[in-house]
A = this chain, B = another copy of it.
Amino acid sequence: MQTLTLSLQRGKTPLYLQIYAALQQEIRTGRLQAGERLPGKRRLAADLSVSVNTVDTAYGMLAAEGYLQSVPRSGFVVCSVAAVPAAAAVPPSAPPSASPKSSFLYDFTTTSIDTSLFPFKTWRRLHQNVLSQQPDLLNHGERPGDEVLRRAIAAHLREHRAVSCGAHQVVVGAGMEYLLGLVARLFSGACFAVENPGYSRTAHILQNNGAAVRFVELDEQGMSVDALSKSGADIAYITPSHQFPTGVTMPAARRYDLLAWARQAPGRYLIEDDYDSEFRFDSKPLPSLQGMDAAERVIYIGTFSKSLAPAFRIAYIVLPQHLLARWNEEFGFYSCTVSRFEQHTLAQMMENGQFAAHLRRLRLAYRRRRDLLTDALRRAFPDITLAGTHTGLHLLAQLPGCDDADILVQTAAQHSVLCSSLSSYDAHAPRQTRAQVVLGYAGLSDDAIASAVQRLSLAWNGAGTRS
């Protein structure tokens, strides 16, 4: 174990993100080597004069991303990661470096998908047709994305999510991260509220594009108007269909409260990230927040990363009509960042009904998987509490007698199962959420789920996990 010297700055970037970035950098550049033990959370927290939870959060993020691994009675140990080799150590003619390898057999992270569900045959055929029949697509396309795709997206959203929009309001871009950055710059000078716990990249992306960010604590219905008002933010980023990571679906009454908040002052907006709304299993989904809004206060963001695959980098936003002129003035000259051939392949798949059919198959497969996982967990842990199972592609698990989910994450890691604690998505402090584990199941096949839960049973029913 070595002494870490990290320089932190009290300022706009949260301390946990600074620690996360600095350690990631140490690991990527090889200054921290695979197998090396990191200092204990308490010690590092004392050295850096930060809270233990701050260090905990940074370690949790690094573990969830495969940079660190938790080892029993050793704390966190550096994994073998060589995606970005050390700058000074690699000469221009450096040999190929190895890809990062996961030491985990089962991956319950929330970013994986099961590649066996992808409709390769359909995609290949459509893509070949587009390549063969439309050579003109080699040239520059329409700047907000080609209209054929924007039309298909608008029609899909109107039908399935009750989003009120036309193709002219849709902007296609290479991933939610890219589009959210543009939104941040559109409202330069505004202050953004983000959900806490939440998707940690959201705050990072907003800050990275010059925005001020406030973390707003959630209650059992999601973000409250009270907490939002206290934050002083102008714009709130929320995930009302399926809050990430808590799994809460925001009730209609709370939605109307937030919409009323947005109407109360000019410059107030709600950014609705509807990242996995396609996957609701047990009831008819609530319509999108955007569809409930009569005052053009909602910017809707969606992605094909879950419904198709992350590899294509296709996401979109739906802008209120009155923001279109401003958007075009600021960003109208940017070329669309998505490959035209893939735009047209997807558009054809949506137009001929194959995308909707694929979604139905996915929904069935993921529901079966959710049922397998919840059944297996309940058999292995009769007293387990599960939450957020009704929709989306992850759930929360809590075991009585264990009030620190990080211990569960660590013992799971010892059994080669990768998962994360709810508190690792929390920018602040200990809360009632510390006891919950987040299990994403989109990346695991039906067979893998049974084996993974067997390992969790060995891990969590073993000695010392629960008090």
Contacts and interface: CB of A to CB of B under 8 A. Distances in A.
Interface of A: 21-22, 24-25, 28-29, 83-85, 87-88, 90-94, 96-97, 99-100, 111-113, 115-116, 118, 120, 123-124, 127-128, 131-132, 135-144, 147, 151, 154, 158, 164-169, 174-175, 177-178, 185, 188, 201, 204-205, 208-210, 309-313, 321-322, 324-325, 328-342, 443
A141 B88 contact: no
Given A84-B328, A135-B118, A324-B87, A168 B94 contact: yes
A12 to B, nearest CB: 12
22 contacts: A29-B324, A84-B144, A84-B168, A84-B328, A87-B168, A90-B166, A97-B147, A113-B139, A115-B139, A118-B135, A118-B138, A120-B132, A127-B127, A128-B128, A138-B310, A177-B334, A185-B209, A201-B333, A205-B334, A311-B340, A313-B339, A337-B337
B113 A138 contact: yes
A178 B175 CA distance: 12
A198 B443 CA distance: 48
A337 B313 contact: yes
A332 B21 contact: yes
A123 B131 contact: yes
Contacts of A335: 175, 177, 310, 313
A414 to B, nearest CB: 25
B96 A167 contact: yes
A332 to B, nearest CB: 7
B120 A337 contact: no
A160 B342 CA distance: 30
A91 B166 CA distance: 7
Contacts of A138: 113, 115, 118, 309-311
Contact of A112 (B92, B139, B328): B139
Given A83-B143, A83-B147, A339-B311, A168 B90 contact: yes
Contact of A208 (B165, B174, B185, B312): B185
Contacts of A141: 311
A373 B110 CA distance: 56
Contacts of A338: 174, 313, 339
Contacts of A325: 25, 29, 87
A315 to B, nearest CB: 10
B127 A168 contact: no
A124 B84 CA distance: 31
A131 B139 contact: no
Contacts of A111: 139-140
Contact of A341 (B94, B185, B210, B311): B311
A332 B24 contact: yes
